[in-house]
Amino acid sequence: MYTLLIVQLAVSGALMGMVYALIAYGFQLTFATSKSINFGQGELVMLSAFFSLTLIDSGLPYWLVVPGGMLFGAVLGLFVERTAVRLSLEQKGEGWILLTIILGLLGFSAAENIWGRDDRPFPTPISSDPLHFFGIDVTPLELSVAIGVLAVMGLVELFKRKTLLGKAFEAVSADRDAAQLMGISATRTIQLSYGLSGLVAALAGILVAPITTVGPTMASVLILKAFSVAVVAGLDSGFGIVLVGLFLGALESLTSFYLGSGWREAPGLVLLILALAVRPNGVFGKASIRKV
């Protein structure tokens, strides 16, 4: 029975870890094309969740709320690119770091003013009654998180491999100057990557909201975990990000069981420090570590 309990904890934790992986994947997308990331991504997740909650309150069915919320996230991503990233990249500067943080703070204040400071439940039609697999309980809600994450990551990867636009995306990631010589607009591609990044981050918010509730601070912890996952896995391996996400999620769940829930955030931090100590370059890449 004891082993079963451990497996149970690991599985539940790992399913949550998928959310970290999805947010980290959003970092990967923009880093690949522009070597920049949105440091206000957590607020983007939160704003998209609030927006989706408003859609639900307005009576829209859940199956329309999900794409609606994702679209909102994509628009926010485009907005971040236009206002905080493009100019500083054109000047080959590092201004995007500060600007994306500031945009995040603005988003946070906006959320407090529009939706208030309280955490609110996020209603979902997906059941929380556990299903039993070989003695382990998994709720459909947890499963929906895993399926949603894998589905959207799979679709984006398919887009990158099977369409010419996706290949252009890869070309800009590999060599921006050479891509421009092929007639591929680097600016448009970076825009696209920010749109996609916002889209997947919004989905992460919508998927996790029924479990964590929705509030202005809902994503502040999530985003730290996502950073850890992104740094540990490296910013170019989608597969690695899922693995590390699963691992970190399971580890957290076991840690909080054995050491008490106060220690829940410890594994992410330890993993991050270990990764930076052992493989400082294999992750963000040399130059960017200096930048960030």
Amino acid identity of 62?
Y
Look at residue 64 and give its three-state secondary structure: helix
Q: Which two structure tokens, joined as six digits, stand for 178?
A: 């050479």
168 binds other proteins per the rule CB under 8 A: yes
Report the relative pairing of strands 131-133 and 136-138 from DSSP bridges.
Answer: antiparallel
Which residues are within 8 A (CB) of 216 and not within 5 positions of it... i.e. 6 or more apart? 46, 108, 111, 112, 115, 117
Interface residue with other proteins, options 177, 262, 277, 290 (CB under 8 A): 177
175 scored as a contact of other proteins (CB under 8 A) = yes
SS3 label, residue 120:
strand
Region binding other proteins by CB under 8 A among candidate stretches 51-59, 167-175, 201-209, 280-288: 167-175
With CB under 8 A as the contact rule, the residue among 54, 170, 282, 285 that binds other proteins is 170
Q: Count the helices and strands in the chain (H runs, E runs).
A: 13, 2
CB of 168 to other proteins, least distance (A): 6
Note whether 167 binds other proteins by CB under 8 A.
yes
| Of 137, 191, 112, 184, the residue nearest 12 (C-alpha) | 137
DSSP state of 261: G
Single out the residue of 109, 113, 128, 163 in contact with other proteins (rule: CB under 8 A): 163
Shortest gap between Cβ of 183 and other proteins (angstroms)?
A: 4
Nearest CB to other proteins, comparing residues 164 and 277 = 164
Beta-carbon contacts of 292 under 8 Å, excluding residues fewer than 6 positions away, are 97, 284
- Note whether 23 and 260 are within 8 A (CB): no
Which amino acid is it at 108?
F
Site for other proteins in 180-209 (CB under 8 A): 180-186
Q: Does the footprint of other proteins cover residue 271 (CB under 8 A)? A: no
Q: Does the footprint of other proteins cover residue 270 (CB under 8 A)?
A: no
Closest to other proteins by CB, 160 vs 225, is 160
Binding track over 81-120 against other proteins, x by CB under 8 A: ----------------------------------------
Contacting positions for other proteins (CB under 8 A):
162-165, 167-168, 170-171, 173-175, 177-186
